[in-house]
Amino acid sequence: MINYYKSLSPFKRRYIPIFSIMSLLLVLSIILIIILPTVTHQIIASPSNRSKSGWPARLSAPYIDMSGWVAPASEYSINGAPNLGKLYDDSGFAYFNLGFIQPDTNKPLESDGTIRWGWGGYYQLSEMAPSNAQYNGIVESLESLRAKGGDFAISIGGQVGDAPWVVTQNQSALEKFYLDIIKTYKLKRMDLDIEESNQDQNQNIINAKAIKNVQTKTGVEITLTIPIMPHGWEQKQINIINAYLDAGVDVHLINSMTMCYGTGVWVNEDYGTASVRAITNSIRQMKKIYANHGYELTDDQAYLKTGATFSIGYESNLYPVFTLSMANTVVEDAINHNYGMVSMWSMGRDAMLISNQAITTKFNYSNVLHKYDDDAT
């Protein structure tokens, strides 16, 4: 080898090492071109334990009615408002869905079309009534939760009363309304509770366009809360989901209200197993809906975009009591399939801030929900 090398001309002896090095670099470059995209894709595609809002990607987060009156003598009261900081300490929940902000029941619009809003549809429970003691209690409650490291989403709409997209179809007025709430409460996540008479498709199409613009301006994370039956979403709910996806809204979570099925359950089926059946059917529907919008979801991705909220205890004489056993059935399925969220209506019932004939001990349902958090850790 040495003799052969010495026999080469000085030109070849000078440039062979250079050509060899360049060839080696070329080979390494080709290898990197092939490998690096795969590595990058794996990093991007790997599941995160946090969503864009900074909230856990999967969690339990109960609903609570912030306009509900809590007797001032209660340890869970701040001027009549639920004390989220104290509930954080005693229930163990760091994240809450807060219901509900709605247009003022008596006068929903100003003369210029601006939406007048407040907690529970009470204008006096808003930033426009800063001297109201109960509203000050709500503000102090929100601050106390965040001071402990927790956070909240605010739910717009609800079962009772008109949603903002019902009282006006002026897109600019809707955008101003949402931007005001996001700025006032420094929201990272906002929930649209779309049920009862608030499910009109055309009204939601306009609202979806407003939400899209608001999301573009603020980056707020959007969740949709909608009714469901054991056989899955009905066409009305599918139309609602389509309205927001058509508008380009990045829907983080579709939260199904797994409750109040009436006669929609099978013989010998309780509300717990009916709720699991509802979620299972919604996964198939969600994948089809998203495929129609150009997104192919795996089962795992669909479940991670799924929320299930049941209504604990006694709802009315139209429905059976939603028991601890039923709640456990839903939570176990959430653990097995990795739902994005499990929730309950409401923390007020479980903490016995309000009376419910089927709940006699505090935080029993909270303990069931925490099984999901324990599994996540």
Q: Are 281 and 339 within one domain? A: yes
**46 domain residue, yes or no:** no
**118 domain residue, yes or no:** yes
pLDDT at 1 over 50: no
Mean pLDDT of the residues in the chain: 90
- Residue 147 burial (C-beta neighbours within 10 Å; 0-12, 13-18, 19+): exposed
Taking alpha carbons only, the member of 273, 277, 339 closest to residue 306 is 339
Omega cis (within 30) before 346 = yes
Are residues 62 and 366 in contact, defined by beta-carbon separation less than 8 angstroms? Answer: yes
Stronger pLDDT, 10 or 62, i.e. the higher one? 62
Cα separation, 317 vs 96, in Å, equals 28
pLDDT in tens, 117-142: 999 999 999 999 989 999 999 999 99
Residue 14: per-residue pLDDT: 54
Residue 307: per-residue pLDDT: 98
pLDDT in tens, 215-232: 999 999 999 999 999 999
Tokens 């996964």 belong to residue:
283
**124 domain residue, yes or no:** yes
Task: Name the pTM for this structure.
Answer: 0.87
**Backbone φ and ψ of 27, nearest 5°:** -65, -45
CATH assignment at residue 62: 3.20.20.80
Q: Are 14 and 81 within one domain? A: no
Q: Are 286 and 173 within one domain? A: yes
Stronger pLDDT, 5 or 311, i.e. the higher one? 311
Residue 374: per-residue pLDDT: 81
Residue 64: per-residue pLDDT: 98
Residue 250: per-residue pLDDT: 98
Q: Which of the four pLDDT bands, split at 50, 70 and 90, describes residue 9?
A: low
Cα separation, 87 vs 75, in Å, equals 10
Cα separation, 18 vs 12, in Å, equals 10
Q: Are 13 and 34 within one domain? A: yes
pLDDT in tens, 96-115: 999 999 999 999 999 999 99
pLDDT in tens, 33-42: 343 333 222 2
Q: Are 102 and 21 within one domain? A: no
**76 domain residue, yes or no:** yes
Name the residue range of residue 319's domain: 51-376
**96 domain residue, yes or no:** yes
Q: Are 193 and 65 within one domain? A: yes
Q: Are 71 and 193 within one domain? A: yes
Q: Are 11 and 158 within one domain? A: no
Residue 24: per-residue pLDDT: 55
Residue 32: per-residue pLDDT: 40
Spell out the SS3 assignment of the chain: CHHHHHHCCHHHHHHHHHHHHHHHHHHHHHHHHHHHHHHHHHHHHCCCCECCCCCECCEECCEEECCCCCCCCCCCEECCEECHHHHHHHHCCCEEEEEEEEECCCCCECCCCCECEEECCCCCCCCCCCCCHHHHHHHHHHHHHHHCCCEEEEEEECCCCCCHHHHCCCHHHHHHHHHHHHHHHCCCEEEEECCHHHCCHHHHHHHHHHHHHHHHHHCCEEEEEEECECCECCHHHHHHHHHHHHCCCCEEEEEEECCCCCCCCCCCCCHHHHHHHHHHHHHHHHHHHHHHCCCCCCHHHHHHCEEEEEECECCCCCCCCECHHHHHHHHHHHHHHCCCEEEEECHHHHCCCCCCCCCCCCCHHHHHHHHHHHHHC
Q: State the total domains in the chain.
A: 2
Cα separation, 186 vs 11, in Å, equals 71
Cα separation, 73 vs 78, in Å, equals 9
pLDDT mean over 188-208? 98
**343 domain residue, yes or no:** yes
Q: Are 318 and 339 within one domain? A: yes
Q: Are 194 and 123 within one domain? A: yes
Q: Are 30 and 105 within one domain? A: no
Q: Are 324 and 295 within one domain? A: yes
**359 domain residue, yes or no:** yes
